[in-house]
């Protein structure tokens, strides 16, 4: 039996830095239960929503961390022999600038040149790859809960992407974002150092900091990618729990070579760190053979993937984490009990079909990306105020603007007056850059490029006039 309470833990805004009371607090190690604990930011205030039956035992721990105002009921509730405590603290993460930008401008422009995913498929598209029996089976699927780890057929299809992993090494999640969330929750304790490739998908950085991590950026050079000497120095500084990289990299489109990936895996293992590789763009490579899947490089490595970016199936909300690290995978499964519990059975069924036909779908989307990439290179030759390098992988490119105009204002202008959606680098904490995406139908991309060129021409005319 759990006691629901509205436990006020507000403190003065300047009381302390963002802190959190995290992880499982098992009062009886023989009855270890997973506990989902989120962020407590004492400056902003938060509420403990649920304290389990062992509230009397946990109260001193809460008080020691600045949470002394327990409700009388929580103080006095008997534990009825249950020695585990489950509680959740919800904190106030900063708004995600990337998603807030899309929320505001994402549906206001006709031409989307910012998309980081492949052109969207329809349910009919996916079912067209399926055997007749599967088409019938899809319409007969039970809409009950599915297995927390994911449908066995889906996990088997995911495992086919790896050389050393099997179905049981896969944990299906609700998109790659949940996989990243679970992994950071499972791995990070307050004070742990986390090395994060920069720039990167912003919630990774934000959530790691919210968990109390000492975040150290490993910068991606726009010209020559990552430098292993910098990683070695960051690891040598000590206490690094996790290294996070994105392969292929968004927003730059940079791609680590086979040699570089092996070197990173070797370095992280030598320093006792977990290597977390966001591989949501895996399969989209332009001028090179596919590098090894990260999770095949050692038990200390975990790969994250999804069907949104390379397959154009973002609406299915299907992602995964893959690792030979049984303890880490198990912990993520336990934490999922407190987030989404399981995925959509119809979504997982469709994702399995898509992954079973990955070659034809990826080749289709890669052809689109190649065409748009070439069109961008040709069109931008006349735009003197943009500096860029073609992407080696993924669907994005990250040009640098040499104009004095802030890129956020530039992107607003493009949206409101030229009907084109481009993402400002500001949402990656990289003002002065623009993110464009190749993952749209070529005719749509060409029309959007024409609008972008019209804007560029107008801007260059203004610069000459001034």
Higher pLDDT, 59 or 224: 224
Higher pLDDT, 30 or 182: 182
Nearest to 171 by CA among 325, 12, 392: 325
Q: Which residues contact 406 (CB under 8 A, 6 or more apart)?
A: 424, 426, 431
Please give the C-alpha separations between residue 200 and each of 207, 225, 247, in angstroms, as whole numbers: 12, 13, 11
Mean pLDDT, to the nearest integer, of 304-311?
A: 98
Q: Are 398 and 388 in contact (CB under 8 A)?
A: yes
Give CA angle at 187 (310, 9), nearest 5°: 110
3-state secondary structure of 219: strand
Residues 409-423: tens digit of each pLDDT: 999 999 999 999 999
Place of tokens 């304790």: 189
Q: Tell me what pLDDT residue 85 has.
A: 28
Binned at pLDDT 50, 70 and 90, residue 464 comes out as low
Nearest to 173 by CA among 304, 346, 311: 304
Residues 270 and 76: their CA atoms lie apart, in Å, by 49
Nearest to 24 by CA among 14, 32, 12: 32
Place of tokens 């968990």: 211
Helices (H), 18-122: 55-64, 72-76, 97-105
- pLDDT at residue 292 is higher than 50: yes
Binned at pLDDT 50, 70 and 90, residue 311 comes out as very high
Cite the residue boundaries of each domain of the chain with CATH code 3.40.640.10.
Answer: 123-356
Peptide bond into 388 cis (omega under 30): no
Mean pLDDT, to the nearest integer, of 152-161?
A: 98
Q: Say how many C-beta atoms besides its own lie within 10 A of residue 297's C-beta.
A: 21
3-state secondary structure of 121: coil
Residue 380: CA atoms inside 13 Å, Cβ hemisphere, count?
19
Residues 351-402: tens digit of each pLDDT: 999 999 999 999 999 999 999 999 999 999 989 999 999 999 999 999 999 9
Peptide bond into 370 cis (omega under 30): no
DSSP-derived pairing of the beta strands 274-278 and 301-306: parallel
Mean pLDDT, to the nearest integer, of 316-341?
A: 97
Name the CA radius of gyration of the chain, rounded.
24
Full-model pTM: 0.81
The helix-helix angle for 358-379 and 345-356 (nearest 10°) equals: 80
Higher pLDDT, 221 or 365: 365
- pLDDT at residue 135 is higher than 90: yes
Please give the helix or strand (H or E) that residue 377 lies within, else none: helix 358-379
Strand ranges, E, within 205-318:
214-219, 240-246, 274-278, 301-306
Q: Tell me what pLDDT residue 355 has.
A: 99
DSSP-derived pairing of the beta strands 434-437 and 396-397: antiparallel
Binned at pLDDT 50, 70 and 90, residue 3 comes out as very low
Q: Tell me what pLDDT residue 73 has.
A: 34
Report the DSSP beta bridge partners of residue 397. Answer: 436
> How far from chain centre, in Å, is Cα 342?
18
> Cα-flanking dihedrals φ and ψ of residue 227, to 5°?
-115, 120
Please give the helix or strand (H or E) that residue 158 lies within, else none: helix 152-159
Tokens of 466: 């001034």
3-state secondary structure of 46: coil
- pLDDT at residue 89 is higher than 60: no
Please give the C-alpha separations between residue 135 and each of 5, 130, 308, in angstroms, as whole numbers: 47, 6, 22
- pLDDT at residue 159 is higher than 70: yes
Q: Tell me what pLDDT residue 43 has.
A: 28
Mean pLDDT, to the nearest integer, of 163-185?
A: 98
Cite the residue boundaries of each domain of the chain with CATH code 3.90.1150.10.
Answer: 97-116+360-465
Domain 97-116+360-465 grouped into CATH 3.90.1150.10: yes
- Average per-residue pLDDT for the chain: 83
Residues 240-256: tens digit of each pLDDT: 999 999 999 999 999 99
- pLDDT at residue 425 is higher than 50: yes
The CATH number of 123-356, from 3.50.50.60, 3.40.190.10, 2.60.120.10, 3.40.640.10, is 3.40.640.10
Q: Of the segments 83-92, 147-156, 223-232, which one has the largest average pLDDT value?
A: 147-156
Give the percent of the chain with pLDDT over 90. Answer: 73
End-to-end distance of the chain based on CA atoms, in angstroms? 72
Binned at pLDDT 50, 70 and 90, residue 172 comes out as very high
Among the ranges given (66-75, 298-307, 425-434), the one the predictor scored with the smallest mean pLDDT: 66-75
Q: Tell me what pLDDT residue 154 has.
A: 99
């Amino acid at each position: 039996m759990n006691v629901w309470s509205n436990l006020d833990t507000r403190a003065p805004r300047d009381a302390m830095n963002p802190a959190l009371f995290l992880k499982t607090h098992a009062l009886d190690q023989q009855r270890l239960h997973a506990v989902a604990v989120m962020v407590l930011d004492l400056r902003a205030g938060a509420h403990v929503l649920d304290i389990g039956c062992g509230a009397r035992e946990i109260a001193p721990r809460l008080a020691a961390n600045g949470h002394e105002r327990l409700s009388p009921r929580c103080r006095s509730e008997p534990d009825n022999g249950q020695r585990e405590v489950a509680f959740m603290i919800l904190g106030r993460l900063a708004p995600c600038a990337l998603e807030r930008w899309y929320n505001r401008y994402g549906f206001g422009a006709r031409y989307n040149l910012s998309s980081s995913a492949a052109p969207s498929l329809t349910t009919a598209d996916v079912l067209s790859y399926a055997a007749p029996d599967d088409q019938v089976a899809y319409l007969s699927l039970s809409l009950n809960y599915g297995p927390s780890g994911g449908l066995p057929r889906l996990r088997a299809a995911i495992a086919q992407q790896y050389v050393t992993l099997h179905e049981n090494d896969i944990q299906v999640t609700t998109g790659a974002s949940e996989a990243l969330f679970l992994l950071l929750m499972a791995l990070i304790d307050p004070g742990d150092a986390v090395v994060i490739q920069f720039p990167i998908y912003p919630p990774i950085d934000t959530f790691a900091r919210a968990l109390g991590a000492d975040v150290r950026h490993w910068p991606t050079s726009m010209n020559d990618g990552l430098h292993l000497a910098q990683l070695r120095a960051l690891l040598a500084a000590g206490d690094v729990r996790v290294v996070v990289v994105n392969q292929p990299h968004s927003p730059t489109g940079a791609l680590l070579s086979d040699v570089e990936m092996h070197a990173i895996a070797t370095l992280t293992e030598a320093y006792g760190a977990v290597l977390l590789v966001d591989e949501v763009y895996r399969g989209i490579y332009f001028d090179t053979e596919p590098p090894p899947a990260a999770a095949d490089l050692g038990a200390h490595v975990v790969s994250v993937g999804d069907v949104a970016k390379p397959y154009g199936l973002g609406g299915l909300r299907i992602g995964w984490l893959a690792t030979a690290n049984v303890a880490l995978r198990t912990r993520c499964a336990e934490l999922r009990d407190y987030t989404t519990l399981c995925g959509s059975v119809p979504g997982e069924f469709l994702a399995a079909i898509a992954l079973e036909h990955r070659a034809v779908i990826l080749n289709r989307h890669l052809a689109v990306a190649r065409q748009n990439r070439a069109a961008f290179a040709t069109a931008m030759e006349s735009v003197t105020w943009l500096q860029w390098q073609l992407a080696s992988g993924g669907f994005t490119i990250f040009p640098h603007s040499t104009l004095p105009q802030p890129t956020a204002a530039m992107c607003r202008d493009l949206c409101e007056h030229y009907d084109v959606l481009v993402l400002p680098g500001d949402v990656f904490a990289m003002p002065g850059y623009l993110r464009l995406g190749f993952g749209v139908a070529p005719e749509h991309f060409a029309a959007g490029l024409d609008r972008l060129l019209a804007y560029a021409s107008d801007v260059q005319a203004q610069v000459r006039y001034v």
